[in-house]
Amino acid sequence: MDQDQNAPLREDVRLLGEELGKVLQGQAGKGLFETVETIRQVAVGSRGQGEMPVAKLRELLDPLEDETLLEVARAFSQFLNFANIAEQRHRERLRRQHARFPGDPDTDRGLRQVLVELKNAGVEGEEIRKVLSDLSVELVLTAHPTEVTRRTLIRKYDQIADLLTELDRPDLNEEEVEDLRRLLREQILSAWSTDEIRRERPTPEDEAKWGFATIEQSLWQAVPKGMRDIEDELVLAGLAPLAADWVPIRFASWMGGDRDGNPNVTSAVTRQVLTLARWMAADLYLRDVENLLADLSMHRASEELLASTGPSQEPYRLFLREVRDRLRNTRALMEARVNGAVESEGEIYRTGEELHRELSVIDRSLRAVGLQAIAEGQLKDTLRRLKCFGITLLKLDIRQESTRHANVVDAITRYLGLGSYASWGEKVKQKFLLSELESRRPLVDSAFYQSEFCTDEVREVLDTCGVIAEQGAEGLGAYVISMARTSSDVLAVMLLQKVAGVREPMRVVPLFETLDDLNNAYDTMSALLDIPFYRERVKAGQEVMIGYSDSAKDAGFLGAAWAQFRAQEKLTGIFREYGIPLTLFHGRGGSISRGGSPTRMALMSQPPGSVAGRIRVTEQGEMIRFKYGRPSVAAYNLEQYVAATLEATLLPPAEPRPEWRAEMDRLTQASVRAYREVVQDDPALVSYLRTVTPETELSRLALGSRPARRKPGGGVETLRAIPWVFAWTQMRLMLPAWLGTGAALETGLDNAPETLRSMSEEWPFFQTVVDMLEMVLAKSDTRVALWYEERLTDDPELQRLGIELRSRLARTVNALSRLTGRESLLDNNPVMRWSIRVRDPYTDPLHLLQAELMSRLRTREEDPVLESALMVTIAGIAAGMRNTG
């Protein structure tokens, strides 16, 4: 990227910094502004010389009062958030430029390039159309707690981004520029005057509302915009148009449905969230219909429409008033249910198909009387929204841990006098479950629910299945079984839905997440497919979820990545043999140790044939805001998913060579061994984590509704994958993303360097491993990590481990450099390199402040000011690192 392309980004960063400085002077006084500026200049100067300015920064920070430390932390944290705004705006700017100059190598690959490559590869247009017609991309919004920024601040940041967009206009005069600068200063002042820290832990309903807000404020506009952009690309490529309401993208959610390890998600919560979604959907469609009412004033209409309205000068308005009334009734009913009020009378929409059928009458009428251009406007957008979001806004997944289901079946068999299901072997369990699934008689009577066997935990699982039965299939997605290990785990959930009287059962999706589970996934699914009853039930399609978080925590990044690849290969093969469509559901996060990577890179690194026109992916934590928080960014990312899924389906990567497979087996053996030497075998690791990183302090931050630990106390195995990653990121050691990988690369470079280089140059899977490793290593910093250690411990054992970890990190960087031939990290990615460098002078003071605050707080009972300052540093560093979880 040349200087001219980067100049607008630098100008936006300078502008926001300058305006923040003015706000600081006005609100906190010139003294604080000068303190912040001195600290910033020291950090900038030292970083420019390649140093971590610990001593100089300590001299500046140590004399400051607690209140001043809080304000300093807030200033640097705000700047990092503003840098994120500027960078995101710059990416939008580059994407617009990319539309004008699609050959620019510094911008992302879009649908236009994919269609050109397909044409060059000889893929016929009809084949492309067929794949696109059946394409299915489902994005699952989850509430994993890595989004530390408060919703109220996100709204202010969006307004700042809008003002930067306005300032980009070349036709502004001086007065208009000054007005926009004034509005910008007002928003920065408003952000500065707002508490950054969420003081109360959100409920699952709160988390669901955040997901709904993303739809209302961004995706509601982004989906039709993205579809028009995609449609334009298809026309440009000379492809015949697809169906008018074609939308290959759907949205689902885990917010209010994911009860694995979260006792706050109950059957009552799930029912409430489903009702809230229906309420929000009715309200959004009502807004659309009221806009259509205002616009569709014409009198020419088809016989079909007039048969409903009778003769009229404004038949469309007459027809739409009835639609509006039904939507109002639907909204009022859902509002009453949410609030526990008296339910109103009146005809409502029970399914999306009912609303779609009525709007389609208008669509056909407009086209029949020569008003196609009007049909292609707002009405088409609404029909596409309906196809995407349905009448329920999104589909809610249910997730529960496998042993909870087994415990319910065990309670039932003991109640029936059949013995303990828990003590049976797998074949006996299968036989019982299949017999009951095929039986027409009820398994239990009402007396079971009053018996001693129906404990609170048992009742909760059955009540959840009862909610599934009462709500119907339209608002529900997948029933995901975490820690699925056997075929009986899947059959048990199918039986429990039958026990609850579910008429249209949710599809049951096993989640394979640990290294052993991934390695055994083929055997588990093979055993199920050997059962004729099961094959018949899933003949239309099977979904399997691949876990990234726990497998990486269990085996390290490289070992987990290879296990995920092989599991997908084997699963794709066996379902192909049976002729059953397979959808792989990727449980990814933002960090690379949890599967995070750019969309195309992620999909093209999958095994050939595993995408096959269908993909389901979680979008987690802060990535929801970065990818879908603004309509233009969201529309771009939706196009990326469509383009990447199309490319991975029709131009899949080649099969990895046998020598690459053999080398990956050797690499992962070395990687897993080196990873577990530290994480599982070194007794100092847990103490180091809790002493030197802010892992313990993270529990003070009201990030999400789910507890940070599966159970109190315990070691690494009890810690959830997200705080595990988050804690190491805060002190820049980034351990989960690289530990073990350096040892593997050293082994490969010493024994088979040419094979390793051919893998990194020609195999998309390994290219992704190398590229993402390089990015995370560029964000790591041993000097920052050392400061935490020096400030927070004098234990010789912890110091010994710290020396070893930093040594391993340095060796990993050296091994990567030997492989790529690049002296400096990210030499091939100047935008990312600049992004990291511009943040370092602002994260450095926050790191030093955080370690100092942790030290002070650990010697005091309570100190609200220091606690607030610590929480600000956590949020600020998360903003600086971006892909934290």
Backbone angles phi, psi at 436, to 5 degrees: -75, -35
Distance CA 316, CA 313 (A): 9
CA angle 400, 403, 405 (to 5 degrees): 65
Interatomic CA distance for residues 114 and 600, integer angstroms: 11
Q: Which of 356, 395, 553, 586 is catalytic?
A: 553
- φ/ψ (deg, to 5) at 618: -80, 140
The answer to whether 78 touches 4, Cβ cutoff 8 Å, is: no
Distances (CA, A) of 479 to 145, 398, 511: 21, 5, 10
- Nearest Cα to Cα of residue 157 among 71, 70, 74, 86: 86
Name the 3-class secondary structure at 779: helix
Pairing of strands 476-482, 582-587: unpaired
Structure tokens that stand for 659 in this block: 């020598």
| Interatomic CA distance for residues 21 and 27, integer angstroms | 10
Per-state percent for the chain, helix, strand, coil, to nearest 5? 65, 5, 25
On whether the CB atoms of residues 342 and 296 are closer than 8 A, the answer is no
Q: Please give the distance of CA 607 from its chain centroid, rounded to a whole number.
A: 22
CB within 8 Å of 666: residues ≥ 6 apart = 747, 748, 751
Residue with tokens 């809080």: 70
Beta bridge partners of 478: 507
Is 498 known to be catalytic? Answer: no
Sign of CA dihedral 702, 706, 712, 717: negative
758 is written with which tokens? Answer: 């051919």
Burial, 875: exposed, middle or buried (Cβ in 10 Å; 0-12, 13-18, 19+)? Answer: buried
CA atoms within 13 A on the CB side of 836: 17
Across 629-732, where does the E strand assignment appear? none
Catalytic residue among 144, 380, 395, 779, which? Answer: 144
> Reduced to 3 states, what is the DSSP secondary structure of residue 805?
helix
Do the Cβ atoms of 208 and 255 come closer than 8 Å?
Answer: yes
Q: How far apart are CA 124 and CA 116, in angstroms?
A: 12
Q: What is the DSSP string of 84-138?
A: HHHHHHHHHHHHHHHHH-TT-TTS---HHHHHHHHHHTT--HHHHHHHHHH-EEE
Q: 448 with 392: CB under 8 angstroms?
A: no
Pick the closest to residue 467 from 680, 275, 242 (CA basis): 275
Instruction: Write a three-state SS string for 487-541.
Output: HHHHHHHHHHHHHCCCCCCCEEEEEECCHHHHHHHHHHHHHHHCCHHHHHHCCCC
Q: Which helix (H) or strand (E) holds 398?
A: strand 395-401
586 part of the active site: no
In terms of Cα–Cα distance, which of 334, 351, 159, 135 is closest to 246?
135
| Token pair listed for 792 | 């927070």
665 residue type, one letter: D
Supply φ then ψ for residue 293, to 5 degrees.
-55, -40
Torsion sign (Cα): 294, 299, 301, 305:
positive
DSSP, res 219 = I
Active site residues: 144, 553
